[in-house]
Amino acid sequence: MPGKMALVDFNRCRPDSCTGGVCPAAKACPRKLLVQETPHEPPMTNPALCRACGDCVRACPNSAIKLTQF
Ligand code: SF4
Ligand code: SF4
């Protein structure tokens, strides 16, 4: 069955422009699937468990996260 998952566009992701280098999109994921290991680094997604709710997409100020069909 086709679905969608969140993917980070690393060309658009600018962690330094987010508050204190901390990714608000990672904090927004209700399932804690976006993980930012270190401040000022881009977050990593966990596509296998993503429910495509879009919370992370709305929380990113740089439109760096997209829901992508797979
Ligand atoms: S909110 Fe967006 S631009 Fe900021 S670190 Fe997260 S993914 Fe990157
Ligand atoms: S789309 Fe929803 S479930 Fe998927 S990573 Fe973003 S906030 Fe988490």
Going from N- to C-terminal start, the domains of the chain cover 4-69
Q: Are 6 and 52 in contact (CB under 8 A)?
A: yes
Is the model's pLDDT at 26 over the cut of 70? Answer: yes
Phi, psi dihedrals of residue 5, rounded to the nearest 5°? -145, 155
User: What's the gap in Å between 1 CA and the centre of ligand 2?
Assistant: 18
Q: Please tell me the predicted confidence (pLDDT) of residue 48.
A: 85
Q: What is the pLDDT of residue 13?
A: 98
- CB 8 less than 6 A from any atom of ligand 2: no
User: What separation in Å is there between the alpha carbon of 33 and the centre of ligand 1?
Assistant: 14
Q: Please give the pLDDT value at position 1.
A: 57
> To the nearest whole percent, how much of the chain has pLDDT over 70?
99
Domain 4-69 has CATH 3.30.70.20: yes
Can you tell me the mean pLDDT for 7-33?
Answer: 97
3-state secondary structure string across 19-46: HHHCCHHHHHCCCCCCECCCCCCCCECC
